[in-house]
Structure 1
Amino acid sequence: MKTEPSKLKRLLSVFIHRASGRITLVLLLGLSSSAWAQPKDTLIWLLRDLPPLTIFEGPEKGQGVVDQLMPLLIAGMPQYDHTLMRVNRARGMQMLREESFTCDPSLIWSKEREQWIAFSIPVFRVVSNGLAVRQEDQSVLEPFLVNGEIDLAALLADGSKKLGAVAERSYGQLLDAQLKQAPTNTLTFHYGNDALGSLLQMQRLGRLLGVLGYWPEIRYLARQEHIADKELVFYPVKGTGRYLSTYIGCSNTPQGRQAISEINQLLRTLPHERLAQAYADWLDPERRRDYLEQAKVFFEQQAGQ
C-alpha cells in the first residue's frame, strides 16, 4: 500500500515536531542538571579557641556561644559549601586581608579594620575587656584605680609595669588607642595558638603585672592552667562601656560583601535571646541579670532602626 505524497509530508511534519519537542526537553533537562551540578563557592570560617565563644578542647568542647551559632549560619546559607578552619588571631587577620573567601564569626569592629573587612550587623553582646592581676599585686594598682576601675592610660604611661595582650586582637576602640600610644617596653604581645593561656602563665611567674582580656575567657583559661579563680582579680578599664558588640567579618571582596549581605538577612531572623542566654550562662550570677536586660534593650533598639 502506497502513501500519498501529501500524507507523507504530514506524517513527516508530525514526526519532526514531536522529535524536536523531545530534543528540546532533553536539552532543557540537560541544562538544568548541569546548572544544579555546578560546584558551590566554598566559604571558609575562621575559628579561634576563644572561650566562651568557641571552645576547642575540654569538657565544654563545642558548647561555646559561637559554637552554637555556626550550625544556624551554615543551615541558613545552603548556597555555599562551608569549611571550618582553626587559626590563631594573627593568622586569621592575615587571611582576611588576602583575596580569599573567608569570614570570622567573632570579631570586634574598629574603624581601622573596616578598611579591609566587611562587617555584619551586631551579632551578640559581650562583657568589655579589662585587666586581670594576681591577688598579691592589687596594691601595685592602687595609684591607678578610679572608683574601682583601672586608669589604663595612666598605668601604661607610668612605664614601670608590664602587661600582656594577644597580638592582632582588638580590645575595643578606646583600649586599642591606648595600647598604640603605650611605651613599647610596657606591653608583651603573644602570637601563638594558646596566646592568652601563655600570658597567664607568664603572669603567674611574675613576668607580667596584668593580662588584658575578657573576664569569662580569662577565668576559663586560668582554670585550664590550674590557676584558681581566687588567685586573680579583674578590673574594668576606665572609660569603656560595660558591654561590646561582636560582629561577623568577611574578606572585603565582592564575594565577601555578598556573603555579609546574606548574613545580615539571616541574623535578623535568628533568636538573639538564645545567644544572649548562652553567653549569660558563662557570667557570674550577679552580672547575668544586668547583661540579659541590657542585651534585650540593645537589640530592640537595633530592630527599630
Structure 2
Amino acid sequence: MTIRSQRRNLWAGLIAWIVLMGSPASHAAEKLIWLMRDLPPLTVFEGPQKGRGVIDQLMPFLIANLPRYEHEVVKVNRARALQMLEGTTLACDPALVWNPARARSIVYSTPIMGLHSNGLVIRRSDQALLAPFVSDQTVELKNMLNAQAIRLGIVAKRSYGVWIDEQLAQGETDAVFIHYGNDALGSLLQMQQAGRIGAILGYWPEIQSKARQQGLSPENLVFYRIHGAPTYQPIYIGCTATPAGREAMISINHALRKIDPQALFDSQTQWQAPDQHDDYLNARPVPLQPLLPR
C-alpha cells in the first residue's frame, strides 16, 4: 500500500468517525429530571398506597412516550423543586399548580386533571374556634387571618391556588406559620396535635394520608372548603423555561394527548369515598380538561 493510499484511508476513517460522533445515536440521551414529593392523591411515598397516586401511575406512561430522554426521578420538597425549575438544568414537575408568579419562570403543559381545591383542616375538638368564620360550610380565610384567632400552618413556597394565595397575601401575616422542612405537612400535623397551630391548608386526601403516616386519626380532623375558591384545582406539568424545557414540553403535551381518559379517571376513583356525605370525595367525575388559566 502506498503512502498516498494510506493517507486516503486515514482521512476516510477520520471523516467516518466525525460523522458518527455527530449523529444523534452517538450522543448520550439528554437527562430530564422529574421533581417529585409526597402529595397524595397525586404522588404517594409512604403507607399502603405507596406508588398508587394518580401521577405515580401516569409516570411510566410519560417516560415511555419520551424515549429521547434519560429520565431521573428526584424527591425534593416544594421549595427545592421551584428553585430547580427556575434554573437552567432540564427539570419538570408533574404535579404543579399554576399561578402568575410561577408562569414568569416556568413553562406549563396543558392541564392533566382537576382536583378538588385545597381547603382548611382543623381538629374536631377546635371547631368552636372556627365557627365565627364559617359560612355555608366554607371558611372566610382572610377574615380568620385578620382576626388572629387561629394560627394557620402552610408549606413554604407552595401554591394553594390563585384565590387562596391571594387571601393569604391579603390576610394578617402574623397569623401564618410557614414550614420549610422536607416533611412540612407531617410536621404541621404534629404541631397542630400539640396545639402550636390551629389549622392547616391542603388537599383533604393529602392530609388524611399524611395524618395516618404520622400515627394520627383522620377521624379527629374536619375539612372545610375556602369561601370563594373554585371547586376544582387544575394540575399541570411544569418545566424549566429554557429552550430545552420548551422543547421537552412539546413532547410532553403530545404524550398527554394520548392518555386514555378512562384510565386516568380510574386511578382517581381509588381516592374517592362514595359513603362520604361531603361531596369532596363523592364518586362524581373530576374534570380532566379544566380551562387553561387566562
TM-score (norm 1): 0.85
Match for residue 251 of structure 2 among 245, 262, 271 = 262
Instruction: Show structure 2 runs of 5+ residues with no match.
Output: none
Higher helix share: 1
Task: Name the CA distance, whole Å, in 1 between partners of 2:186 and 2:208.
Answer: 10
Match for residue 95 of structure 1 among 66, 71, 84 = 84
Amino acid at match of 1:243: Y
Task: Name the CA distance, whole Å, in 1 between partners of 2:245 and 2:185.
Answer: 29
CA contact (8 A) 2:273 2:282 kept: no
Task: Name the CA distance, whole Å, in 2 between partners of 1:289 and 1:271.
Answer: 22
**Superposition deviation, residue 24 in structure 1:** 8.1
Q: Secondary structure at the match of 1:53?
A: coil
* Aligned length in residues: 279
- CA deviations on 1:62-108 (whole Å, 9 max, x unpaired) are 11111111111110001111111110111111111111111000000
Other-structure match for 1:31: 19
Other-structure match for 2:66: 77
Task: Name the CA distance, whole Å, in 2 between partners of 1:224 and 1:95.
Answer: 28
Q: Secondary structure at the match of 1:143?
A: helix
Task: Establish whether residue 275 from structure 1 lines up as the match of residue 259 from structure 2.
Answer: no
Other-structure match for 2:214: 225
Other-structure match for 1:208: 197
Task: Name the CA distance, whole Å, in 2 between partners of 1:57 and 1:225.
Answer: 11
Task: Name the CA distance, whole Å, in 2 between partners of 1:52 and 1:289.
Answer: 14
**Superposition deviation, residue 227 in structure 1:** 1.4
Task: Name the CA distance, whole Å, in 2 between partners of 1:188 and 1:274.
Answer: 39
Other-structure match for 1:136: 125
Other-structure match for 2:241: 252
Cα separation, partners in 2 of 1:244 and 1:291, compared to 1, 3 Å? farther
Match for residue 190 of structure 1 among 179, 201, 209 = 179
Task: Name the CA distance, whole Å, in 1 between partners of 2:201 and 2:14.
Answer: 65
Task: Establish whether residue 67 from structure 1 lines up as the match of residue 56 from structure 2.
Answer: yes
Percent sequence identity is: 43
Other-structure match for 1:241: 230
- Which range is displaced more, 238-247 or 269-278? 269-278
CA contact (8 A) 1:124 1:272 kept: no
Other-structure match for 2:111: 122
Runs of 4+ in 1 over 6 A off after TM superposition: 23-30
Instruction: Show structure 1 runs of 5+ residues with no match.
Output: 1-15
TM-score (norm 2): 0.88
**Superposition deviation, residue 59 in structure 1:** 2.4
**Superposition deviation, residue 29 in structure 1:** 9.2
- Which range is displaced more, 166-175 or 220-229? 220-229
Q: Secondary structure at the match of 1:295?
A: coil
Task: Name the CA distance, whole Å, in 2 between partners of 1:75 and 1:198.
Answer: 36
Cα separation, partners in 2 of 1:195 and 1:112, compared to 1, 3 Å? same
Task: Name the CA distance, whole Å, in 2 between partners of 1:56 and 1:265.
Answer: 28
Match for residue 161 of structure 1 among 131, 150, 166 = 150
CA contact (8 A) 1:151 1:238 kept: yes
